Amino acid sequence: MILRDPVHGLIPFDTPEDQIIVRLLEAPEVQRLRRIRQLGVASFAFPGAEHTRFAHALGSAHVMRRLVARLRDVQGDIAPAHRLDKRRAREALAAALLHDVGHGPLSHSFEEALPNAPRHETWSTRVILDRDTGVGKVLADEDPELPAVVAELVRGHHELAYLARAVSGTFDVDRCDYLLRDAHATGVPYGRYDLDWLLRALTFAQTSGGEAPPLAIDGAKGIVSLESFVLARLFMHQQVYFHKAARAAEWMLCGILRRATALLRDGSKLPGALPALASIAYHGDAPLGEYLELDDGALFVAMHAWESSSDSTLADLCRRIRGRSLFKTLELYGTSEATRAAALATAREIAKKRGLAPDAYVGLDVASDTPFSDDDDPLTVLFPHRVAKKPGDVSFLLGRLRDETVTRVRLIFAPELREAITAAIPA
């Protein structure tokens, strides 16, 4: 199988090891990812951001394929027990493809709205371990032990620690693909970095014990590519993931889901209610079959039906999100938590006087990310004579960014409140 991809070009899955990917692509749970947008409602701000979790899964598997090839080129000096054989390569490829198989509708927005429900990582492992799912059947048919191993890899655990970090770590195949893919789809150039050179610079560090060696970057030629990777992540958060319109749309969507589940818990009947959403509202969980019926299309159909709900607030929010009548934002620069709380209270009092439900029409959005930390990551920079150092100790740029958190704080509110709120809360 050879696919054309707008980010990586030709993606071949044509070796015996790759056949696990080809078989898994036929599973209904993997095909479901075609119906889930990678960036949720970010297309409200970036019209091209319509790419899916399916495309990202394929891209992640492709990057893992390239990573496996690179590590095999440099594994000659490590113990045979720590090398990537065919079995371990198959495990890594399957985990790379399936790492997001449990995502809910509109990606992270769904689980942010329902914090007491299982996270997408939990749903992914359920899909993988259930022998009645298409994914579970394919994996078990390959090897009865394979589902458990792949599930552990998705959780970030494996007998080869460097393989686990490649699935879930600072430099993992997930981030390697989504930065490039999201930058391409949004038209934002800041997410681009030199993946080819970064992979070419990877090698193994030495270890004094009997455990598998960690990955390392060749200091002479790889540190700049690692810097560009970290900067891409920093800039994409600033320009895309923290974009004010995207954040406002996500906040509105979360408000809709929270209000819908609250109404269901109170015994209200909603038109077009989703069985999984009702189960989560009542029990904090849902049967796997119900959950897998959730996708972007199902959620938008339900929200369209909720426009006729007897709950006027839910109906109004659904009409606004469907018509892209987004809430406005007011940035709160350098404010303390007490100042933020006071600003939120003031804005909600204004909404209350206008006859609007304060918690549904005014909110505080705090978006934060730490682009780089090497405290708990074994990735090192390797210099001549096998001297290994932490990336933040040898790079001025990474040293300055290490453990620094980027935070954007905004009030979010209905457009009709903008004049009164900006007058009462000076920027």
pLDDT digits (tens, 9 = 90+) for 74-111: 888 888 888 899 999 999 999 999 999 999 998 888 88
Confidence check: pLDDT of 315 > 90 = yes
Residue where the block lists tokens 């970090």: 165
Q: How far apart are CA 232 and CA 237, in angstroms?
A: 9
Contact (Cβ atoms closer than 8 angstroms) between residue 424 and residue 350:
yes
Provide the residue count of the chain. Answer: 427
Nearest to 216 by CA among 407, 425, 1, 394: 394
Helix (H) or strand (E) holding 328: strand 328-331
Q: How far apart are CA 191 and CA 41, in angstroms?
A: 19
pLDDT the model gives residue 222 = 86
pLDDT the model gives residue 323 = 94
Distances (CA, A) of 245 to 176, 297, 300: 25, 21, 19
- The string of pLDDT tens digits covering residues 335-362 is 788 999 999 999 999 999 999 999 999 9
Confidence check: pLDDT of 112 > 80 = yes
Q: How far apart are CA 81 and CA 85, in angstroms?
A: 9
The SS3 of residue 213 is: coil
pLDDT band at 153 (very low <50, low <70, confident <90, very high): very high
| Cβ-proximal residues to 357 (8 Å cutoff; 6+ apart), any chain | 313, 351
pLDDT the model gives residue 422 = 93
Q: How far apart are CA 231 and CA 73, in angstroms?
A: 28
Nearest to 365 by CA among 338, 335, 316, 329: 329
- By the 10 Å C-beta count (0-12 exposed, 13-18 middle, 19+ buried), 177 is classed as buried
Taking the CA atoms of residue 416, residue 419, residue 424 and residue 425 in that order, the dihedral angle to the nearest 10 degrees is 90
Average pLDDT, integer, range 291-314? 95
Strand order in the sheet with 406-413: 328-331, 406-413, 362-369
Which of the following CATH numbers is that of domain 2-201: 1.10.3210.10, 3.40.50.12780, 3.90.580.10, 3.60.21.10?
Answer: 1.10.3210.10
Mean pLDDT over the full length of the chain: 92
Q: Which amino acid is at 307?
A: E
Contact (Cβ atoms closer than 8 angstroms) between residue 357 and residue 313:
yes
Nearest to 158 by CA among 65, 72, 90, 229: 90
The SS3 of residue 367 is: strand
Average pLDDT, integer, range 208-219? 81
Residue where the block lists tokens 């972007």: 296
Alpha carbons within 13 angstroms on the beta-carbon side of residue 190 total 13
- By the 10 Å C-beta count (0-12 exposed, 13-18 middle, 19+ buried), 113 is classed as buried
Share of the chain above pLDDT 90, in %: 72
Contact (Cβ atoms closer than 8 angstroms) between residue 212 and residue 160:
yes
Confidence check: pLDDT of 3 > 70 = yes
Phi-psi category of residue 385: left, alpha or beta, with phi > 0 → left and psi -120 to 50 → alpha = left
What ranges make up the beta strands (E) of 202-266? 202-204, 215-218
Two structure tokens written together for 339: 């100042």
Q: How far apart are CA 64 and CA 168, in angstroms?
A: 12
The SS3 of residue 223 is: helix
- Helix extents (H) in 274-390: 275-283, 288-291, 296-306, 312-322, 337-353, 358-361
Confidence check: pLDDT of 220 > 80 = no
Nearest to 66 by CA among 9, 124, 126: 9
Residue where the block lists tokens 């006027």: 312
Two structure tokens written together for 82: 């720590």
Report the predicted TM-score, pTM, of the whole model to 2 decimal places.
0.93
Exposure b/e, 248-262, CB count within 10 A at least 16 = b: bbbbbbbbbbbbbbe
Q: How far apart are CA 1 and CA 200, in angstroms?
A: 25
